Amino acid sequence: MKPYQEMSKSELEAAFEQLENEFEEFCARGLKLDMSRGKPSSEQMDICMGLLDAASSRDHYISANGMDCRNYGALTGIPEAKKLLGDLIGVPEEMMIVMGNASLPIMYDMVAHSVLHGVCGSTPWMKLEGKVKFLCPVPGYDRHFAITEFHGIEMINIPMTPDGPDMDLVEKYVYEDDMVKGIWCVPQYSNPQGITYSDETVRRFASLKPAAEDFRIYWDNAYAVHHLYDKKNRDSLLNIYEECEKQGNPDLFFEFCSTSKISFAGAGIAGVASSRKNREWIQSYMTIQIISYDKLNQLRHAYYFKNSYGIRLHMKKHAEIIRPKFQKVLEILDRELTGLGIGEWTNPKGGYFISFEALEGCARKIVGRCKEAGVTLTGAGATFPYKKDPKDSNIRIAPTYPELDELQEAAELFCLVVKLVSVEKLLGK
């Protein structure tokens, strides 16, 4: 079929009538499908049930350093958990602080403490004259943006490129404005585009010389091992820790990781890696905030996975479950929309999302019409600060949670609605 933009008005009107009829048929099916969040499916949860029994005997309550994990202590995590997460992201275990069940609360706390008490002895952000700012690669992770918005921090859009954030723009802001205090990054299989930062991008991050002494890179390595394909067809990410060391910038980054989409969502273990100076700052407020985190859960994870190789073997099972779902959605997008000139989409090698770019001004209508027919998508605009997509074009597709047959229906409806809304726009309706 030729591009919709090349169709005559009469052709578009005929297409519109047919698409409206097909849409009504979908509405009559009474679908109730949820593709709004990047949630693991029940099948993915099932492959980790052995974790619940991994520390079930008396001997298994004791960590490698002899600590009874049922009791208080080990504020920064047990040695086994530090090594497990450290090996996962390629940092020495002594650089890891292992905390609770997910990385998002860690990031929230760090921003909150920066506002209230300052970073490593710097002036608290709330006492500064002027507006504190964060750089936000877009489209990006809505939860990151929610944290900074909640704390009254001004967010600045940084466009994503195929190599990662626009580093010319990043450097301009970081070098020229000492009120720019941080940048959110999902460096491998970014949310939602699935982009992995290039080696050059990582090196440019590591060599930043910020105007603000308390500027930090929030390196949320959420999808470090979330590959969809084998070694020949997956992305690799340069190690930010090693590059910062080479550049003499050890304090520049916080690297976050978790097992929330490795073991159980919301019941994994999570941590942050950084320099000694940054870790001492984090520990200074941890000693006030908590006596110790859930060491039994840390121990369970260490017993169950044994090491980072065990995690990687486990992630192959995840990939076998979710890869067909990604392939199904991409197959339907290709079949239904290729050549029509009304949308573009990513083909990620890992992570949890497919990013779709509709015609400008169409994303909210597409999401709304899909919901009308029983398919819930992430809200249009969610992938931008303040939920304001300047072009109203980006839609995040989350294929992992539905069953494969449900996913096929949802993807077919999505493509139908993209066509319908696009024709409406071209007809000026």
- Work out the average pLDDT over 399-412: 94
- Work out the average pLDDT over 120-147: 97
Whole-number Å distance between alpha carbons of 107 and 222: 12
Q: Are 358 and 393 in contact (CB under 8 A)?
A: yes
84, 88, 92, 94 alpha-carbon torsion, rounded to 10°: -40
Residue 217: DSSP 8-state: E
Does the pLDDT of residue 126 top 80, yes or no?
yes
Residue 295: how many CB atoms within 10 A of its CB? Answer: 25
Buried b (16+ CB within 10 A) or exposed e, 94-111: ebbbbbbbbbbebbbbbb
Whole-number Å distance between alpha carbons of 303 and 335: 45
Does the pLDDT of residue 68 top 90, yes or no?
yes
Whole-number Å distance between alpha carbons of 300 and 104: 21
Residue 350: DSSP 8-state: B
Does the pLDDT of residue 56 top 80, yes or no?
no
The amino acid at residue 37 is R
Enumerate domains of the chain plus CATH numbers: 4-44+313-427 (3.90.1150.10), 62-306 (3.40.640.10)
For 26-32, which contacts have Cβ atoms below 8 Å and span 24 or more sequence positions? 26/373, 26/374, 26/413, 26/416, 27/372, 27/373, 27/374, 29/373, 29/374, 29/409, 30/374, 31/373, 31/374, 31/375, 31/409, 31/410, 31/413, 32/374
- Work out the average pLDDT over 337-362: 97
Q: How confident is the model at residue 57 (pLDDT cuts 50, 70, 90)?
A: low
- Work out the average pLDDT over 27-35: 89
Residue 58: DSSP 8-state: G
- Work out the average pLDDT over 311-327: 97
The percent of residues in the chain predicted with pLDDT above 90, rounded, is 93
Residue keyed to tokens 């960590």: 63
Residues 211-237 have pLDDT tens digits of 999 999 999 999 999 999 998 899 999
- Work out the average pLDDT over 367-373: 96
Query: What are the two backbone dihedrals, phi and then psi, of residue 188, each rounded to the nearest 5 degrees?
Result: -120, 125
Structure tokens that stand for 200 in this block: 């050059």
User: Does residue 354 sit in helix, strand or coil?
Assistant: strand
Does the pLDDT of residue 35 top 90, yes or no?
no
Buried b (16+ CB within 10 A) or exposed e, 383-393: bbbeeebeebb
Question: Residue 217: which of 262, 170, 258 has the closest Cα?
Answer: 170
Mean pLDDT of the chain: 96
Whole-number Å distance between alpha carbons of 168 and 161: 11
Structure tokens that stand for 412 in this block: 């077919």
Confidence (pLDDT) at 64? 87
Q: Are 217 and 254 in contact (CB under 8 A)?
A: yes
355 strand-pairing partners:
396
Structure tokens that stand for 140 in this block: 């990006």
Given the DSSP bridges, would you call strands 375-377 and 33-35 parallel, antiparallel or unpaired?
Answer: parallel
In angstroms, what is the C-alpha Rg of the chain?
23
The number of C-alpha atoms within 13 Å of 220 and in the hemisphere containing its C-beta is 28
Whole-number Å distance between alpha carbons of 363 and 419: 12
The amino acid at residue 401 is Y
Does the pLDDT of residue 59 top 70, yes or no?
no
- Work out the average pLDDT over 241-265: 97
The number of C-alpha atoms within 13 Å of 45 and in the hemisphere containing its C-beta is 9
Residues 154-195 have pLDDT tens digits of 999 999 999 999 999 999 999 999 999 999 999 999 999 999
Residue 68: DSSP 8-state: B
SS3 annotation, 106-155: HHHHHHHHHHHHCCCCCCCHHHCCCCCEEEEEECCCHHHHHHHHHCCCEE
- Work out the average pLDDT over 344-364: 98
Q: How confident is the model at residue 55 (pLDDT cuts 50, 70, 90)?
A: confident
Please give the angle made by the CA atoms of 362, 387 and 106, to the nearest 5 degrees: 140
Annotate 358-403 with DSSP letters as a single string.
ESTT-HHHHHHHHHHTTEEEPPTTTTSGGG--TTS-EEEE--SSS-
Structure tokens that stand for 333 in this block: 């997008």
